Amino acid sequence: MSRTLEASEIHKYFGGVKAVQGVSLTLETARIIGLIGPNGSGKSTLLNVIAGIEKPTKGTVTVDGRRVDGWPAHRMVELGVAKTHQIPKPFLGMTCRENVAVAMMYGSRREGEPASALEESRRILAMVGLDRRADAPASNLTVQERKRLEFARVLATGAGLVLLDEIFAGLSPDELRDAIALFARVQKEQGFGALVVEHVMRAVMILSDFVVVIEEGRKIAEGSPKEVVEDPAVIEAYLGSEATNVTP
Protein backbone atom coordinates (compact mmCIF):
# COMPACT_ATOMS: atom_id res chain seq x y z
CA MET A 1 0.00 0.00 0.00
CA SER A 2 1.36 3.36 -0.94
CA ARG A 3 1.39 6.02 1.73
CA THR A 4 1.88 9.76 1.51
CA LEU A 5 2.82 12.12 4.29
CA GLU A 6 2.50 15.79 3.58
CA ALA A 7 3.88 18.50 5.83
CA SER A 8 2.82 21.92 4.72
CA GLU A 9 3.87 25.34 5.89
CA ILE A 10 5.22 24.04 9.19
CA HIS A 11 6.18 26.68 11.72
CA LYS A 12 7.60 25.91 15.12
CA TYR A 13 8.51 28.62 17.64
CA PHE A 14 10.05 28.14 21.05
CA GLY A 15 9.24 31.33 22.88
CA GLY A 16 10.90 33.94 20.69
CA VAL A 17 13.06 31.46 18.79
CA LYS A 18 11.65 30.64 15.38
CA ALA A 19 13.11 27.21 14.78
CA VAL A 20 11.08 26.33 11.70
CA GLN A 21 9.36 28.88 9.49
CA GLY A 22 7.01 27.61 6.84
CA VAL A 23 8.70 24.49 5.50
CA SER A 24 6.71 22.07 3.33
CA LEU A 25 7.71 18.63 2.14
CA THR A 26 6.18 15.39 0.93
CA LEU A 27 7.21 11.89 1.85
CA GLU A 28 6.03 8.82 -0.05
CA THR A 29 6.42 5.07 0.15
CA ALA A 30 9.61 3.80 -1.46
CA ARG A 31 11.15 7.24 -1.88
CA ILE A 32 14.03 8.67 0.08
CA ILE A 33 14.00 12.35 0.83
CA GLY A 34 17.18 13.93 2.17
CA LEU A 35 16.87 16.87 4.52
CA ILE A 36 20.06 18.86 4.91
CA GLY A 37 21.08 22.16 6.41
CA PRO A 38 23.70 23.63 8.73
CA ASN A 39 23.73 23.00 12.48
CA GLY A 40 20.74 24.56 14.23
CA SER A 41 18.86 25.11 11.00
CA GLY A 42 15.73 23.39 12.39
CA LYS A 43 16.09 19.94 10.81
CA SER A 44 15.58 17.98 13.99
CA THR A 45 12.74 20.22 15.10
CA LEU A 46 10.97 19.68 11.80
CA LEU A 47 11.40 15.95 12.20
CA ASN A 48 10.04 16.09 15.73
CA VAL A 49 6.98 18.01 14.55
CA ILE A 50 6.30 15.45 11.84
CA ALA A 51 6.78 12.55 14.24
CA GLY A 52 4.35 14.01 16.78
CA ILE A 53 7.00 14.69 19.41
CA GLU A 54 6.38 18.44 19.15
CA LYS A 55 3.21 20.26 18.15
CA PRO A 56 3.60 22.68 15.25
CA THR A 57 2.95 26.34 16.06
CA LYS A 58 1.36 26.70 12.64
CA GLY A 59 0.96 24.44 9.63
CA THR A 60 -0.48 21.00 8.98
CA VAL A 61 0.71 17.43 8.66
CA THR A 62 -1.44 14.91 6.78
CA VAL A 63 -1.03 11.21 6.21
CA ASP A 64 -2.96 9.89 3.21
CA GLY A 65 -5.05 13.04 3.35
CA ARG A 66 -5.88 12.73 7.05
CA ARG A 67 -4.80 15.56 9.35
CA VAL A 68 -2.48 14.29 12.03
CA ASP A 69 -0.59 17.35 13.30
CA GLY A 70 -0.64 17.51 17.08
CA TRP A 71 -1.12 13.76 17.35
CA PRO A 72 1.09 12.24 20.03
CA ALA A 73 4.06 10.17 18.89
CA HIS A 74 2.55 6.83 19.84
CA ARG A 75 -0.47 7.42 17.57
CA MET A 76 1.81 8.37 14.70
CA VAL A 77 3.57 5.06 15.19
CA GLU A 78 0.23 3.23 15.07
CA LEU A 79 -0.39 5.02 11.82
CA GLY A 80 2.94 3.82 10.48
CA VAL A 81 5.20 6.84 10.90
CA ALA A 82 8.19 6.25 13.17
CA LYS A 83 11.39 8.13 13.96
CA THR A 84 14.85 7.29 15.26
CA HIS A 85 16.43 9.45 17.93
CA GLN A 86 19.49 11.46 17.05
CA ILE A 87 21.08 10.25 20.29
CA PRO A 88 20.04 6.60 20.49
CA LYS A 89 17.69 5.83 23.35
CA PRO A 90 17.83 2.08 23.86
CA PHE A 91 16.02 0.52 26.81
CA LEU A 92 19.19 -0.16 28.73
CA GLY A 93 17.80 -2.79 31.06
CA MET A 94 16.57 -4.98 28.20
CA THR A 95 18.31 -7.18 25.69
CA CYS A 96 18.43 -6.17 22.03
CA ARG A 97 15.77 -8.70 21.23
CA GLU A 98 13.48 -7.30 23.91
CA ASN A 99 14.11 -3.78 22.66
CA VAL A 100 12.97 -4.77 19.21
CA ALA A 101 10.08 -6.82 20.60
CA VAL A 102 8.64 -3.70 22.29
CA ALA A 103 8.50 -1.97 18.91
CA MET A 104 7.02 -5.07 17.35
CA MET A 105 4.23 -5.29 19.92
CA TYR A 106 3.37 -1.61 20.15
CA GLY A 107 4.04 -0.43 16.62
CA SER A 108 1.62 -0.69 13.74
CA ARG A 109 2.13 -4.46 13.53
CA ARG A 110 0.47 -4.93 16.93
CA GLU A 111 2.11 -8.26 17.47
CA GLY A 112 0.23 -9.46 20.57
CA GLU A 113 2.34 -12.32 21.85
CA PRO A 114 5.71 -11.60 23.45
CA ALA A 115 6.99 -15.05 22.44
CA SER A 116 6.39 -14.57 18.73
CA ALA A 117 7.57 -10.95 18.86
CA LEU A 118 10.83 -12.08 20.43
CA GLU A 119 11.24 -14.72 17.74
CA GLU A 120 10.55 -12.27 14.94
CA SER A 121 13.00 -9.79 16.51
CA ARG A 122 15.89 -12.04 15.54
CA ARG A 123 15.07 -11.61 11.88
CA ILE A 124 15.02 -7.83 12.16
CA LEU A 125 18.25 -7.75 14.14
CA ALA A 126 19.82 -9.92 11.45
CA MET A 127 18.66 -7.41 8.85
CA VAL A 128 20.70 -4.64 10.50
CA GLY A 129 23.60 -6.93 11.31
CA LEU A 130 23.04 -7.14 15.05
CA ASP A 131 22.05 -10.81 15.16
CA ARG A 132 25.13 -11.74 17.15
CA ARG A 133 24.16 -9.26 19.85
CA ALA A 134 20.52 -10.36 20.02
CA ASP A 135 20.64 -11.50 23.63
CA ALA A 136 23.13 -8.93 24.89
CA PRO A 137 21.81 -6.22 27.22
CA ALA A 138 21.43 -2.99 25.27
CA SER A 139 23.64 -1.27 27.84
CA ASN A 140 26.60 -3.29 26.52
CA LEU A 141 26.31 -1.95 22.96
CA THR A 142 28.73 0.49 21.40
CA VAL A 143 27.44 3.80 20.07
CA GLN A 144 27.35 2.48 16.51
CA GLU A 145 25.54 -0.67 17.59
CA ARG A 146 23.04 1.49 19.44
CA LYS A 147 22.35 3.37 16.24
CA ARG A 148 21.67 0.10 14.46
CA LEU A 149 19.38 -0.98 17.27
CA GLU A 150 17.56 2.33 16.95
CA PHE A 151 17.06 1.63 13.25
CA ALA A 152 16.00 -1.97 13.93
CA ARG A 153 13.36 -0.81 16.37
CA VAL A 154 11.90 1.62 13.88
CA LEU A 155 11.78 -1.16 11.27
CA ALA A 156 10.13 -3.41 13.83
CA THR A 157 7.26 -0.99 14.35
CA GLY A 158 6.26 -1.85 10.80
CA ALA A 159 6.32 1.80 9.80
CA GLY A 160 5.84 2.46 6.10
CA LEU A 161 7.31 5.92 6.48
CA VAL A 162 10.41 6.37 8.59
CA LEU A 163 12.15 9.49 9.82
CA LEU A 164 15.86 9.02 10.41
CA ASP A 165 17.73 11.58 12.46
CA GLU A 166 21.44 11.44 11.66
CA ILE A 167 21.85 7.68 11.69
CA PHE A 168 25.07 7.94 9.69
CA ALA A 169 26.79 10.45 11.95
CA GLY A 170 30.13 9.65 13.52
CA LEU A 171 31.13 6.78 11.25
CA SER A 172 34.55 6.22 9.76
CA PRO A 173 34.65 6.22 5.94
CA ASP A 174 34.67 2.41 5.82
CA GLU A 175 31.85 2.08 8.32
CA LEU A 176 29.91 4.70 6.40
CA ARG A 177 30.23 2.76 3.16
CA ASP A 178 28.94 -0.39 4.88
CA ALA A 179 26.13 1.47 6.60
CA ILE A 180 24.97 3.08 3.38
CA ALA A 181 25.00 -0.27 1.59
CA LEU A 182 23.09 -1.87 4.44
CA PHE A 183 20.52 0.88 4.51
CA ALA A 184 20.02 0.79 0.75
CA ARG A 185 19.54 -2.98 0.85
CA VAL A 186 17.05 -2.91 3.72
CA GLN A 187 15.15 -0.03 2.15
CA LYS A 188 14.86 -1.93 -1.11
CA GLU A 189 13.63 -5.07 0.67
CA GLN A 190 11.14 -3.29 2.87
CA GLY A 191 10.12 -0.58 0.46
CA PHE A 192 9.51 2.07 3.09
CA GLY A 193 9.71 5.76 2.42
CA ALA A 194 12.34 7.60 4.40
CA LEU A 195 13.05 11.16 5.41
CA VAL A 196 16.77 11.25 6.11
CA VAL A 197 18.18 14.12 8.10
CA GLU A 198 21.88 14.02 7.68
CA HIS A 199 25.06 15.91 8.19
CA VAL A 200 27.03 13.43 6.17
CA MET A 201 26.60 14.79 2.67
CA ARG A 202 27.88 11.69 0.98
CA ALA A 203 25.13 9.52 2.45
CA VAL A 204 22.41 11.96 1.46
CA MET A 205 23.71 12.40 -2.05
CA ILE A 206 23.99 8.67 -2.69
CA LEU A 207 20.72 7.61 -1.13
CA SER A 208 18.25 10.41 -1.77
CA ASP A 209 15.81 10.64 -4.61
CA PHE A 210 15.09 14.23 -3.67
CA VAL A 211 16.83 16.70 -1.39
CA VAL A 212 15.42 19.57 0.65
CA VAL A 213 17.82 22.17 2.03
CA ILE A 214 16.87 24.37 4.94
CA GLU A 215 18.67 27.22 6.60
CA GLU A 216 17.55 29.13 9.67
CA GLY A 217 14.22 27.36 9.58
CA ARG A 218 13.46 28.21 5.95
CA LYS A 219 13.62 26.08 2.86
CA ILE A 220 16.25 27.55 0.54
CA ALA A 221 16.37 24.89 -2.16
CA GLU A 222 15.00 21.54 -3.24
CA GLY A 223 15.44 19.14 -6.12
CA SER A 224 17.45 16.17 -7.17
CA PRO A 225 20.80 15.78 -5.41
CA LYS A 226 22.54 17.05 -8.51
CA GLU A 227 20.34 20.14 -8.85
CA VAL A 228 20.75 21.00 -5.20
CA VAL A 229 24.51 20.75 -5.27
CA GLU A 230 24.62 23.14 -8.19
CA ASP A 231 22.12 25.57 -6.66
CA PRO A 232 23.96 28.85 -6.02
CA ALA A 233 21.88 29.59 -2.91
CA VAL A 234 22.93 26.29 -1.40
CA ILE A 235 26.56 26.77 -2.24
CA GLU A 236 26.41 30.23 -0.78
CA ALA A 237 24.59 29.35 2.41
CA TYR A 238 25.75 25.95 3.33
CA LEU A 239 28.19 24.11 1.18
CA GLY A 240 30.63 26.91 0.54
CA SER A 241 34.05 25.66 -0.33
CA GLU A 242 33.06 22.10 0.51
CA ALA A 243 30.86 22.02 -2.58
CA THR A 244 33.54 20.37 -4.60
CA ASN A 245 33.68 17.43 -2.21
CA VAL A 246 30.01 16.68 -2.13
CA THR A 247 29.40 14.81 -5.28
CA PRO A 248 30.19 11.18 -4.77
Partner 1 sequence: MKLPKLRAIGPSLWGIGVFLLVLAGLAPWIPRFPLTILVNLLIFAALAYSLNFITGLTGYVNFGHVVFMAVGAYTLGYTVGTIRLHPLGGVALGGLMALVLALGLGAVTLRFRGVYFAIASLVTPLAGLNIVLVLPALGGGQGILLNIGFDPLSWFYTIWAIIATEVGLTYWITHGRLGYGIRAIKSDEDAAKSLGVNAPRLKLFLFALSGLFAGATGGVYAWTTSGVFPEAAFDLTFSLRMLAMIVIGGMGTLLGPLIGAIAVYLPSRFFLTIFIGTESIIIGLVVIVIALFVPGGIVGTLRKYVPELRRILE
Does the protein bind partner 1 through residue 248 (CB under 8 A)?
no
Does the protein bind partner 1 through residue 153 (CB under 8 A)?
yes
Q: Which of 51, 196, 204, 237 binds partner 1 (CB under 8 A)?
A: 51
Nearest-angstrom CA–CA distance, 222 and 239: 14
Region near partner 1 per CB under 8 A, out of 29-37, 58-66, 89-97, 231-239: 89-97
Question: Going edge to edge, which strands form the sheet with 210-215?
Answer: 81-83, 161-165, 193-197, 32-36, 210-215, 218-223
Q: Which of 49, 77, 162, 214 binds partner 1 (CB under 8 A)?
A: 77
Does the protein bind partner 1 through residue 83 (CB under 8 A)?
yes
Q: How many C-beta atoms lie closer than 10 Å to residue 151's C-beta?
A: 23
Task: Give φ, ψ of 234 to 5 degrees.
Answer: -70, -45
Does the protein bind partner 1 through residue 155 (CB under 8 A)?
no
Q: Which of 5, 27, 49, 105 binds partner 1 (CB under 8 A)?
A: 105
Least distance (Å) between residue 71 CB and partner 1: 11
Helix axes 143-156 and 96-106, enclosed angle (nearest 10): 30
* Distances from the Cα of 77 to the Cα of 18, 134, 193, angstroms: 27, 23, 14
Pick the closest to residue 92 from 144, 41, 156, 136 (CA basis): 136
Does the protein bind partner 1 through residue 122 (CB under 8 A)?
no
CA dihedral 242, 246, 247, 248 (to 10 degrees): 130
Q: Which of 6, 13, 30, 53 binds partner 1 (CB under 8 A)?
A: 53
Q: Which of 50, 103, 134, 228 binds partner 1 (CB under 8 A)?
A: 103
Q: How many C-beta atoms lie closer than 10 Å to residue 55's C-beta?
A: 12
Least distance (Å) between residue 150 CB and partner 1: 9
Does the protein bind partner 1 through residue 136 (CB under 8 A)?
no
Q: Which of 102, 176, 184, 243 binds partner 1 (CB under 8 A)?
A: 102
Least distance (Å) between residue 223 CB and partner 1: 30
Region near partner 1 per CB under 8 A, out of 25-33, 92-100, 176-184, 212-220: 92-100
Does the protein bind partner 1 through residue 160 (CB under 8 A)?
no
Residue type (1 letter), 26? T
Task: Give φ, ψ of 162 to 5 degrees.
Answer: -120, 145
Does the protein bind partner 1 through residue 106 (CB under 8 A)?
yes
